[in-house]
Amino acid sequence: MLKLEARPQASPFWSYASPVLALVITVFVGIVLFLALGKDPMRGLEVFFWEPIKSAYAWSELMVKATPLLLIALGLAVCFRSNVWNIGAEGQFVAGAIAAGGVALLADANTSRWIVLLILLAGVLGGMAWASITAVLRDRFYANEILVSLMLVYVAVQLLNYLVYGPWKDPMGFNFPQTKTFEAVTKVPRLMDGSRLNIGLLLALAGVGGLWVFLFRTYSGFAQQVGGLAPAAALYAGFSSRKALWLALLVSGGAAGLAGALEVAGPIGQLTPYVPAGYGFAAIIVAFVGRLHPVGMVFAAILMSMFYIGGELAQSRLGLPKSITGVFQGLLLFSLLACDTLMAYRVKWKK
């Protein structure tokens, strides 16, 4: 029989090998799933893992999807390393999109191109303001940040719906629930012609470097991680738990809000009820698959964006439902949770 035996210390090998094994398990279960649905499994794997990377244009679209995932995951990594469980990044993403959209709607044809900076700043501040609600309730009233941040997602979505169905609705939009298309001066600059890839990718990569420096080369980053790993030791060292809470949530909310601003002032170009795309929830998986490390989350974001694009292609080319994207995301998460057991336990054969 197989038996799990506790390791004397966590395995460094499995801390890196676990995500790889989780991906292999996800692919294997995906093959079984395609067979059960009566689809060619090789064609299914091609749609998910080859189509999104087969050309330069495909790579640019992959980066468009990966940018918001990476930005949100970077902010969540600060929270999770600080033992602050922010599950509401999707709401902060929507709040940032609303704030950015409000500024973009003020522009006209004569507005300066510098309004793009105000739009991005509004997105950051909108996400931080939404995250601060969770911080206040946790700090002052000891509310559970998991429940508060999660419930605020639905409040943000309803606020967005109210605006696009009501006061911000485009009067010339044939009664569709959307704002008018933003002026050209409000669009974030693109990196190349013929592609939707914009400066958001550069901001995300700058965030990777900034987070690495903060976590591993600064006193504040050390204090954040100590508070998450050993709260008693952090208290003994004089580190402020309140400061850690506020810093983690504001950074996370600001990153999610920036991602929302880049979406509405970039690929979308207006506010619609479809702004919430699930990036805030998918970024949680990105953060953990990337081991809460800035570089690891880059590869995890690319993998997760492949699932997004593969799911869209599977709908049109294989006739599969839209939920196939969520199925693959869930498979990866649960496989990772199962494989992480191997970090603390070894499997032994016992007669």
Do 275 and 192 share a structural domain?
Answer: yes
Do 258 and 151 share a structural domain?
Answer: yes
Per the domain annotation, does 86 fall within a domain? yes
Per the domain annotation, does 48 fall within a domain? no
Phi-psi region of 38 (alpha: psi -120 to 50; beta: other; left: phi over 0): left
Do 192 and 152 share a structural domain?
Answer: yes
- 3-state class (DSSP) for residue 345: strand
Per the domain annotation, does 46 fall within a domain? no
Per the domain annotation, does 30 fall within a domain? yes
d(CA 296, CA 235): 30
The closest of 345, 344, 351, 329 to 26, measured between CA atoms, is 329
Per the domain annotation, does 342 fall within a domain? yes
Q: What pTM value is reported for the model? A: 0.95
Q: How many helices (H) and strands (E) does the chain have?
A: 14, 2
CATH number at residue 161: 1.10.3470
Do 328 and 271 share a structural domain?
Answer: no
Task: Quote the pLDDT of residue 239.
Answer: 87
- From the number of C-beta atoms within 10 Å of its C-beta (0-12, 13-18, 19+), residue 195 rates as middle
The closest of 203, 126, 208 to 160, measured between CA atoms, is 126
Do 176 and 291 share a structural domain?
Answer: yes
Per the domain annotation, does 32 fall within a domain? yes
Per the domain annotation, does 73 fall within a domain? yes
Do 326 and 218 share a structural domain?
Answer: no
Do 251 and 330 share a structural domain?
Answer: no
Do 169 and 248 share a structural domain?
Answer: yes
Q: How many domains does the chain have?
A: 2
Amino acid at 31: I
d(CA 284, CA 287): 5
- 3-state class (DSSP) for residue 346: strand
Q: Which two tokens stand for residue 252?
A: 């996370």
Do 8 and 106 share a structural domain?
Answer: no
Task: Quote the pLDDT of residue 193.
Answer: 85
Do 234 and 169 share a structural domain?
Answer: yes
Do 301 and 260 share a structural domain?
Answer: yes
Do 68 and 17 share a structural domain?
Answer: no
What is the dihedral sign for C-alpha 188, 190, 193, 196?
A: negative
* Residue whose entry in the numeric block shows the structure tokens 């016992």: 350
Answer whether 81's CB lies under 8 Å from 224's CB.
yes
Per the domain annotation, does 47 fall within a domain? no
Series of mean pLDDT values for 10-residue runs along the chain (351 residues): 86 90 94 92 92 92 96 97 95 98 93 95 98 96 95 97 96 92 94 90 97 95 88 84 94 98 95 95 95 96 94 90 89 92 87 73
Domain extent, residue 290, equals 61-319
